[in-house]
Each structure stands twice: as structure tokens, then as C-alpha cells.
Structure 1
Amino acid sequence: MDRRTILITGASGFVGTALCRKLVELGGVNARAALRKPGAVLPAGVQPVIVGELARSTDWASALSQVDVVVHAAARVHVMKETATDSLAEFRRVNVDGTLNLARQAAAAGVRRFIFISSIKVNGEQSPAGRPLCADDTPAPQDAYGVSKLEAELGLRHLAIATGLEVVIIRPVLVYGPGVKANFHNMMRWLHRGVPLPFGAVDNRRSLVSLGNLLDLITTCIDHPKAANQVFIASDGDDVSLTQLIRALGQALGRPARLIPVPQILLQTAARVLGQRDLAQRLLGSLQVDINKNYQLLGWTPPMTLEQGLSATARSFLDNPHR
């Protein structure tokens, strides 16, 4: 049987680079990486193709030639310090217009399946007590990024009906793993340096997903016949409080967490005073998800436990001399 060709967008990013590497390791496919510009370091065996920016006018003809499956991980991501005058317009320009332009050209080129890496933000920012969010819940995005991801999802569903392109939507929760950046990386730095943290009494519940588990779900959806035109949530299936997470991460790093039990209400009040309400929600609020659909439809369960995921993340951090 001929080797399939899989196009990965966002191939120089955290998820995209790891996906390219995994596809090479699995074998049996030609992995093609769509890049904005030359110079990205890709795993050996991955074919680079320069496409420029993700926009409504991007020409994808060369990238899509003889492609069987597209995994679309490129996006304008959630911006902590927004500088755009109209942030929703900027998110729509890339995440909606750019995505649908790619998908339309993919359908015209004969691509069989389009896997869209969306976001749990389509579901919302928090889950009600005792009621995890499900893939088929009514969407309730709260910010411009989440709205743009939802609008892209809706456009892809319409396109699937009109063209026959199989669309698979995956909404990851917070992704961590070797090479993770931003707040998760900062947390490891604080723990490694022994910095006292005021999170010893946070009794929330958060779902996370290791990079390894997310990649396993993506590769499952590349071929699984029942994945077509479905929405899935990616999670480790093991929810923890912020306090539990920090303790577990400290143990993985070999640095006992120095946690101060500041009452959660005081932390929330301080965050509001300092204008950090959104950050407080991400740290202190609850966001649990239900991934039973993944098992029921795909027979998929996360192959990696939370403990294993944190251990792999910590090892990568400790091996990095520039941490």
C-alpha cells in the first residue's frame, strides 16, 4: 500500500514539532511540515514546505499536493498582553479565515480528512461543581480566542457537509510536556529554586493533558473511521487541584514544594485588586472535562498517567542547561 502523506501546520510549535517526530517514529507515512518561513529545525525525515502566514489569501497548492490528511495545529494563540485594537478581528483573521481557506483548498485537492486542533475554551472557562464539560455540550466561549475557535469549528462543519471532507475536531485542555513554556515552565522554575508559593490551600479541580496523550489521540484520529465529523476533548482523565499539581510536580523535580496555605478567597481578592482576574481564574478556578466519548467511540484511553506525564516534563526541564 502507498505511504500516506500527512500535512502538519504549526509544525514549528510545541505540539506540531512533537507530532512530526511521532509520525516519523511510527513510520508508514510521509510527514510534511507547513512553515511560515525557512529556518525551523524539524525532525529528520520531515519534508518542509514554506507557505507564509496563515491567512485567507494563502496559496496552499504545493503543500497540499498528494496529501491524505491535514493536522491543523497552527493558530493565533491566546495572548496574555493583547496589543491589537480589535483582538477578535485579529483572531478571526487567522483562526477563522485562515483555517477555512486552508480547509477549502484541502477539500478541492482531494484531502480525505482534516483534523483541527481547537481549544477547550470553546466549551468555556470553567465547569460547574460536579459537572465536567463534555465534547457535545453547548459551546460557551468567554474570550476572543475561544470565539474564533468556535467560529472555525462551525465553518469546518458546514464545509464537511458541502464537500464530503471528513473533519475531526480535538479540543485540548492545558497541554504540558517536555519543552512546555509559559506558566507551567515558570512553575517548574519556582519549584526548582525553592521559591515559597501561596497555593497550599487551593481546593479546585483542573483537567490537564500531557503532550504524549494528546499526540496519541491525534494519531488515533488520523485513521479511525468513527472519528469522522466528531468532536473530542483531550485530557489525561485525572483531575487535580492546583495544590496537588504543585506537590506532584515538585516530587517529579526532586524538590519538595514549599507551599503556604493562603486561603483561596484571599488569593482571589488580591488578584482582582491587581487586575489579574483572568490569571486567577486559570489558577484557582475549576475546569474539569469528561472524555468518556473518546473511549466509547474510538476505544481510546490515555496511555500515559498524570504522574508519568509530569515525570517526563520534569526530566526535560532538568536536562535543559538554560532552565
Structure 2
Amino acid sequence: MKILVTGSSGRIGSRAVERLLARGDRVRGLDMRASGRQAEGYEEIVAEPGDVSRAEQAVAGVDAVLHLGAFMSWSPSDRATMFAANVEGTRILLDAAADGGVKRFVFASSGEVYPENRPEFLPVTENHPCHSNTTYGLTKMLGEELVRFHQRTGSFETVILRFSHTQDASELLEEESFFSGPRFFLRQRVAQQRNFGNHAVADLLAAADPGIPAHILARNENGRPFQMHITDTRDMIQGVELALDASEAAGDIFNLGATDPVDFTTLLEKMSKITGYPVVTVDLPGAGVYYETSNEKIRQELGFKPEWTIDRMLTEAAEARTKRMTG
């Protein structure tokens, strides 16, 4: 099978390319950044999202598309870029795929379509209302509707995967990581909030700085610690592969992520034992992040079996941190 993978230089896309090549598929990558990959059976197109001619070139002769590429940001200044990449870019790719005779189109959506940070019930299932309250989530909702249009009109089979928050295990304890830095380390969270223009929150966090590097245990205004899913990239690739191959996945929507949510109180205690950093607790304005998303459907219907628990991820993260620290 010949498969187009968008976002082929990204965290999930690059791993998907590796997996597909390992099993003998031919793969074409499409990304804004060149991956530098040199492998038999692999070719790559470098293009901006929304480039019509490049999209047509990318889908030519492929059997399936894994549309994993997206632009993610929480900065208000990036709204236009998100709509251009995640909505218009998706529309252009779908139209090209329909004209090009693609048989299956797998779309990477997000749990932010629900929204996860203000769920109406727990656990969040695929039947939860899609009432996104983030710009990124909104662009993914619109992308889903574009995908469903092509399913309804018979362009090709489609599968929508609502992705959990995803990380490589090795970066969980990496202070400069895009995700883990501001999520688990105090000074990185302060810098992130200032960058977002949330100066009141940044000042609140900065006031708790003990004068040495520290972890941040974020709680909501009522003192409830944050809780969310953190899924290892390798488990996400397993789910993507099932969506690509399983006949019973056609036309359906699946939550894809870890089975159990992560309680930040417990996680930060474990992180602190590894790093030696103290844990600073700060109650932040608002309801905070607290959700549980069900992956029962993809486990029951497609046989998804996540293998990387948060403890297993943390063990690998500790090993990676030791290597970084010792050089």
C-alpha cells in the first residue's frame, strides 16, 4: 500500500512513517519542514498547508492518507494561522484526495472538540457534545465536519481519531520541552503565561518561586489538582495503524489515548523524587483541567491495547534525564 502521511516531520507523523516503512508500505511525507529521512520506499514533499498544487501532487497515486499534520497554539496571535492550516489546509487536502482516488482518509482530530477542560459528563465518550471553547478545538471541529462531508458524499472511507494529549516518554522531565516544561516546571510555566499575555497568572506563579528550580502542582480555584490523560507516542501510533487498516473503522469516530487519566498530585510527587526539585502548589483562577476520556470504543471495536502507563513513561523519562544531565 502507498500512504501519504502529513506532518511527517512531527512527533506522531515521523513515528507513523517509521512504522509504515517497517511493515513494508511505501510512504510519501508531506510537511512544512524537511525530515532529512533517507529510506527505501520513502519520498517527501515540502510545502505550506493550503498549497493546492502540492496537495494534488502529494495524493497522486496513494491508497490512503494519514492526515496527522496540524498547527497547534494557545496564543491569540496564532488564530489566523490555525484556521489557515487546520481548516483550509484540510479542505484542500480532502478535495485533492477525492479527485485523486484515495480509498481511506484518517483524520487526526483532538479531544479539545468536546471540550475536555469543561466536560458535561465523565468519562468523556464519543457521544459527548462537541462544544469546543478553544480556537484549536474549533479548527478541529470544522476539520471533522469537512471529513464527514466526504464520507457522506462517498468520496472515500474516513476515520476520525480524537487524539489525547501525546508526549514522548523521554521528554516528560525535560524542562525545555514545549509541553512538559510549562506543565511541570514552575519557571517555564511563568514564562509561558507571560508569553500568552496572562500577566496576572504569571505574577501569581512567580510569587511562589522558592528561589531554586521547582515543579509546579497546579490546582483550580477550589484547590482541586489537575487531572488529564498523557499518552505515549507509541500507543498513539498503534491506534493510528488500526484506524488505517481495520475495515470496521470506516465511517466512524474514536477517542484515541491512554486508558487512565493522570492525577497531577501523584505524578508530581514521583517527578520530585527523580529530580530533587521541590513541588510548589499554586491555586489558579478558574475551573482548571480535570477530565477523563474513555477509550473503551477503540479498545472494544478495533482491539487497541495501550502499553505505556504513566509509570512506565516516567521510568524512561528518568533514564533520559540522567543521560542529559551527565552529557
Deviations 1:97-133 (A, max 9, x none): 1112111211221211111111111110425487111
Greater CA drift, 119-128 or 45-54: 45-54
Distance 1:226 1:195, change over 3 A: same
Equivalent position to 1:147, from 115, 138, 143: 138
CA contact (8 A) 2:184 2:217 kept: no
Secondary structure in 2 matching 1:311: helix
Deviations 1:46-89 (A, max 9, x none): 62322411116343233222211111111121x233325xx2x4
Match of 1:246 in 2: 268
CA contact (8 A) 2:7 2:67 kept: yes
CA contact (8 A) 2:231 2:257 kept: yes
* CA–CA distance in structure 1, aligned partners of residues 314 and 41 of structure 2: 28
Confirm whether residue 116 of structure 1 aligns to residue 113 of structure 2.
no
Confirm whether residue 17 of structure 1 aligns to residue 14 of structure 2.
yes
TM-score (norm 2): 0.79
Confirm whether residue 255 of structure 1 aligns to residue 275 of structure 2.
yes
Q: How many correspondences in the alignment?
A: 295
CA contact (8 A) 2:74 2:136 kept: no
Confirm whether residue 74 of structure 1 aligns to residue 69 of structure 2.
yes
**Structure 1: any 5+ residue segments left out of the alignment?**
270-276
* CA–CA distance in structure 2, aligned partners of residues 36 and 261 of structure 1: 39
Equivalent position to 2:245, from 223, 240, 243: 223
Equivalent position to 2:178, from 175, 182, 203: 182
TM-score (norm 1): 0.80
CA contact (8 A) 2:225 2:264 kept: yes
Distance 1:108 1:261, change over 3 A: closer
CA contact (8 A) 2:123 2:291 kept: yes
Equivalent position to 1:288, from 264, 268, 292: 292
Match of 1:268 in 2: 284
Match of 2:39 in 1: 44
Match of 2:217 in 1: 199
Distance 1:197 1:49, change over 3 A: closer
Distance 1:177 1:222, change over 3 A: same
- Say what the alpha-carbon RMSD is for the aligned residues: 2.9
Distance 1:211 1:32, change over 3 A: same
Alignment-mate amino acid for residue 9 of structure 1? T
Confirm whether residue 95 of structure 1 aligns to residue 92 of structure 2.
no
* CA–CA distance in structure 2, aligned partners of residues 291 and 228 of structure 1: 17
* CA–CA distance in structure 2, aligned partners of residues 319 and 108 of structure 1: 49
Match of 2:48 in 1: 53
Equivalent position to 1:132, from 106, 119, 123: 123
CA contact (8 A) 2:148 2:158 kept: yes
CA contact (8 A) 2:105 2:158 kept: yes
Greater CA drift, 99-108 or 127-136: 127-136
Distance 1:310 1:68, change over 3 A: farther
Distance 1:118 1:313, change over 3 A: farther
CA contact (8 A) 1:178 1:317 kept: no
CA contact (8 A) 2:170 2:316 kept: no
CA contact (8 A) 1:202 1:242 kept: no
Distance 1:44 1:18, change over 3 A: same
* CA–CA distance in structure 2, aligned partners of residues 187 and 153 of structure 1: 28
* CA–CA distance in structure 2, aligned partners of residues 317 and 45 of structure 1: 33
Distance 1:44 1:179, change over 3 A: farther
CA contact (8 A) 1:51 1:63 kept: no
* CA–CA distance in structure 1, aligned partners of residues 268 and 41 of structure 2: 36
Secondary structure in 1 matching 2:314: helix
* CA–CA distance in structure 2, aligned partners of residues 70 and 185 of structure 1: 32
CA contact (8 A) 1:12 1:35 kept: yes
Match of 1:165 in 2: 156
CA contact (8 A) 1:205 1:286 kept: yes
* CA–CA distance in structure 1, aligned partners of residues 182 and 134 of structure 2: 24
Identity level (%): 22
Greater CA drift, 48-57 or 66-75: 48-57
Alignment-mate amino acid for residue 197 of structure 1? H
Distance 1:320 1:120, change over 3 A: same
Measure how far apart 1:293 and its partner are.
0.6
